[in-house]
Amino acid sequence: MTVAEQDGVIRLLAPCPVEDAESLLGLLQASAASVVDLTDCGHLHTAIVQLLLTYRPMVTGAPGDPFVLAWIMPFLKHRDAGAIDLRPGNGVVGPGLPPPAPGGTTGRGVF
Amino acid sequence: MDELLEQFLIESRELIELAAADLFALERAPDDRERIDSAFRAIHTLKGAVGLFGLVPMAIVLQAAEDVLGAWRDGNAAPDAAAIDRLMPAVNTLETWLEAFAAGNDLPGGAAEEAARLAAPLLALAGIAPVSASAPAPVAAASRGHRPDWLAPLLAAHATDLAKWHDAGAGLAGSLAALRYVPTRDCFFRGEDPLAILRAVPRLLAVDLALTPEPEGAEPDPFACRLVIRAISAAPEAEVASVFRLIADQVEIVAVAAPARLAASRTLRVDATRLDTLADIAGELIVTKNRLAHLAAEAPSSAPAIARPLGAIQAELDRLVGDMHRAIMRARMVPLSQTTRRMARLVRETAGQLGKEVAFDISGDDTEADRAIVEALFEPLLHLLRNAVDHGIEPPDARSAAGKPRAGSIRLEVRRDGDQIGLTVTDDGAGVSPVRLRESAQRRGILDPDTIDRLTDEEALQLVFMPGFSTATAITEVSGRGVGLDAVRSTIEALGGRVTVSSTEQFGSSWRMAVPEAVVLRAVMLVETGGQVFGVPLAAVAETVLVPADRIVRIGDGEAFVLRGGTVPLLRLGALLHLKLVKQAADRPDEAPERVKVLVVQLAGQLAEGQPVGVAVDRLGERMDIAIRPVGGLLAGMSGLLGAGVMGDGSVLLVLDMAGLIG
């Protein structure tokens, strides 16, 4: 198990495979935890990154993995839409926009 | 105009000029690796840009040119005159097409056939079998220039990242690979991890991640991939493609030429008129600052309480405005090469038209000057160079007969001399004959015979700058009848510069121009005569002296005085300006009438170079920095008037051109 919650902080430990997506989804939906700590994470599977982009918890810690630090982290850190360049019309919803969360204004834990 | 199009036109013109300049240099020095690389880069970058606008004929020619330059670069072929003679028309045609596109948003009719005709010999040079017009080469060229919609936003969003990488020496010289990777929704179930694949892409420069929206009302499915990845890599396209070889259908990869503006990191293109506006505002600010200085000077008597702090603020403002003005002026500095690099081609064309052989050399054109100066130098330089080709350089046979090499040599040298820019055009042609100039001047009645006789040879040569003067027996299409050398002089003088010529018959001529690096703030000295105040550029004033009235001697109609053992002619400013001398110095009892205030003016250029002249004025005032603007309307053509500026109290100061006034 490389996803663990303690005191409202979700920690991602070591490389997170696709199987962790379900437990992370559960934690993000169920817990009041709004913080995800990446200090000890390794490679993050696309499914994990996708969840973080969808639920946009506060992400802390500097990942030791240089790829995650350089290319993934910037998209997880910014919670404001202004930080990410999003152009209308290219058919995608960027990380900066509120997640597709019907019925919720904060977009987190309301499913 | 569409901003993208405007940018494209600006950059494409520059790239064509750059490529042309490189080709000329290669004609002279075929081994110059840097020039080969530079020409290749220019053509390659241009090819990428024309693809963006679907200019297929241009892409075809550029592709062929790039193949030739690529062969040179890789050492598979060597540049020679024949190859350059095939490339040059191609570059000229590209320029014509570009201008046609700028004017009418389309290429001229028949461009496609013309492109095939131009490309075939180039491809042959590059060792590529010529292809028929309908063959795949054009298609390949066009598709290599193809740019999907997502590309431009991606490049724009990461322009600064790319610039940083460039600074860090990552070397964005060649091309970049941009990719858009849209994994299938079920890719996780097939064991694919798109981010793990992205991790394998070598030399990543930028990454963009985005999520496609979940269908309306659907539960988020953690195992459905919704990520869209866009990235830029410095690795070659093929190397990037190999990472995606198993999922090639999910990814689109395009090679992008590292755009020139990315390579030139940390620079920003600003519309020149915005800089002009800034410069104008700074000029106005200086006027306002001068008015404050005026007020601050009066404060000790009128408002002693605030005099000290006002003085301090005024001094601070003075410094800041000065700093700002200098910074704006620096921002307006551009290298002279912006003007001179167009010259090589024009000299070549002119020589071709006249059947002459000319080797043209430019040096020092990385010297910088204010944009206005650099642009204004185009016409005079063009004229002097054409004149040198037309009237200076002899036909090849005549040169052979005179024991000279068949090809004439013309050199354009640029150098900085303090805050002046010196430009010299030297040719090894026939030279100018002072004897013939004298004859011509006499025949045309430009000067009376006595004056002509008194001229030294050096002075007589300067007669070529007189209006309506020509010594060429044959009137040619190229430089006409000598109209223009006077235009050269008036243009250069309007810039605050001067132009002179020296020449030795049979050995050639040398045309020297000196212009200020910027036409902005000038230090002037205020003088008063006949109750009016004028400005005199401080640069023109060698010194000011008080001459006892009894030391002034009359010589014929004129006056003179002795200064440090030399006789200096003395002129009265009031008389020069034809002013009614209502208030002579004698009306002022507080000033010693027996001492005459004299500006010693060192006349730069023209007939009496270097000789000091004394100009008597009623009063000598303070010196000040002032922005001089050319005067318009009725005053525009008035000789002796340099321009006008606004003084601290809001009044207008006329600034005199001493050389024009006396000369």
pLDDT tens-digit profile of B83-122?
888 888 889 889 889 888 888 878 888 888 888 888 888 8
Of A56-60, B61-65, B185-189, the range with the lowest mean pLDDT is A56-60
Helix (H) or strand (E) holding B499, with range, is strand B498-504
CB contact under 8 Å between B188 and A92, yes or no, is no
Report pLDDT digits (tens) over A36-76. Answer: 888 888 889 999 999 888 888 888 888 888 888 888 888 88
For B72-105, b where at least 16 C-beta lie within 10 A, e where not — what string? bbeeebebeeebbebbbebbebbbebbeebeeee
Of A18-22, B505-509, B623-627, the range with the lowest mean pLDDT is B623-627
Q: What is the pLDDT of residue B501?
A: 92
Q: Is pLDDT of A12 > 80?
A: yes
What is the distance in angstroms between the Cα of B178 and the nearest Cα belonging to chain A? 15
Burial class, B285, CB count within 10 angstroms (exposed 0-12 / middle 13-18 / buried 19+): middle
Contact between B184 and B250 (Cβ < 8 Å): yes
Reported as a pLDDT band with limits 50, 70 and 90, residue B385 is very high
Q: Which residue of A has its CA nearest to B157?
A: A85
Reported as a pLDDT band with limits 50, 70 and 90, residue B163 is low
Q: Measured between beta carbons, which residues in chain A are less than 8 angstroms from residue B199? A: 43, 67
- In this prediction, residues B354-365 reach a mean pLDDT of 90
Contact between B490 and B482 (Cβ < 8 Å): no
Q: Is pLDDT of B146 > 50?
A: yes
Determine how β-strand A14-16 pairs with β-strand A41-44.
parallel
Q: What is the pLDDT of residue A1?
A: 58
Spatial neighbors of B348 by CB under 8 A, at least 6 apart, are: B24, B358, B360
How far is Cα B430 from Cα B437, in angstroms, rounded to an integer? 14
CB contact under 8 Å between A18 and B188, yes or no, is yes
Q: Is pLDDT of B135 > 50?
A: no
Tokens 């063959």: give the residue: B135
Tokens of B64: 């062929």
The secondary structure of B346-371, three-state, reads: HHHHHHHHHCCCEEEEEECCCCEEEH
CB contact under 8 Å between B227 and A91, yes or no, is no
Rounded alpha-carbon distances, angstroms, from residue B489 to B23, B141, B465: 32, 49, 6
The pTM for the full model equals 0.46
Spatial neighbors of A91 by CB under 8 A, at least 6 apart, are: B212
Of B169-173, B346-350, B433-437, the range with the lowest mean pLDDT is B169-173
- In this prediction, residues B487-498 reach a mean pLDDT of 79
Q: What is the pLDDT of residue B409?
A: 94
pLDDT averaged over every residue in chain A: 70
Cα-based angle B318, B319, B320 (whole degrees, multiple of 5): 95
Report pLDDT digits (tens) over B293-330. Answer: 778 888 888 888 888 888 888 888 888 988 888 888 88
CB atoms within 10 A of CB B110: 10
Q: What is the pLDDT of residue B663?
A: 66
Return residues 1-20 of A near B (CB < 8 Å).
18
Q: Measured between beta carbons, which residues in chain A are less than 8 angstroms from residue B219? A: 111
Reported as a pLDDT band with limits 50, 70 and 90, residue B428 is very high
How far is Cα B441 from Cα B449, in angstroms, rounded to an integer? 9
Rounded alpha-carbon distances, angstroms, from residue A97 to B157, B168, B355: 17, 33, 69
How far is Cα A97 from Cα B41, in angstroms, rounded to an integer? 40
User: Hey, is the C-beta of A50 within 8 angstroms of any chain B C-beta?
Assistant: yes
Q: Is pLDDT of B141 > 60?
A: no
CB atoms within 10 A of CB B269: 10
What ipTM did this prediction achieve?
Answer: 0.72
Of A42-46, B477-481, B596-600, the range with the lowest mean pLDDT is B477-481
Report pLDDT digits (tens) over B410-422. Answer: 999 999 887 789 9
Q: Which residue of B has its CA nearest to A19?
A: B223
CB contact under 8 Å between A67 and B199, yes or no, is yes
Angle between helices B378-387 and B485-494 (to 10 degrees): 150
CB contact under 8 Å between A45 and B225, yes or no, is no
Counting Cα atoms < 13 Å in the Cβ hemisphere of B481 gives 3
CB contact under 8 Å between B188 and A47, yes or no, is yes
What is the DSSP annotation of B586-632? GG-TTS-TTEEEEEEEE--SSTTTT-EEEEEESEEEEEEEEE-B---
- In this prediction, residues B208-227 reach a mean pLDDT of 81
- Closest-CA residue to B338 (of B303, B367, B299): B367
